[in-house]
């Protein structure tokens, strides 16, 4: 099965600090649920995609979001 055309540039995987991301990738990006990915559906519709949006339409848990730097 081919992988999602967005996989190499999909920003969510670079920011998810958890091995769980490989479960997501195998199920969605490289797996049978790809066409159901909420991120992919929004992209194809030309709509904005929240940075923390997971393929199943939920938001990434705060514990997995990298700390954001604040300006002084």
Site for ligand SF4 in 9-68 (CB under 6 A): 10, 12, 28-29, 34, 37, 39-40, 55
Host H or E run for residue 22: helix 21-24
Smallest distance from ligand SF4 to CB 41, Å: 9
Smallest distance from ligand SF4 to CB 33, Å: 8
Backbone angles phi, psi at 59, to 5 degrees: -95, 145
Please calculate the CA angle 63-47-17 and round it to the nearest 5 degrees.
20
Residue ranges in contact with ligand SF4 by CB under 6 A:
4, 6-7, 10, 12, 28-29, 34, 37, 39-40, 55
């Amino acid at each position: 099965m081919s992988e999602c055309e967005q996989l190499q540039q999909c920003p969510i995987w670079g920011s998810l600090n958890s091995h769980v991301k490989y479960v997501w990738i195998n199920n969605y990006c490289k797996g049978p649920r790809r066409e159901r990915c909420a991120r992919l559906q929004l992209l194809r519709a030309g709509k904005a995609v929240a940075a923390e949006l997971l393929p199943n339409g939920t938001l990434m848990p705060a514990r997995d979001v990298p700390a954001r730097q604040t300006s002084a």
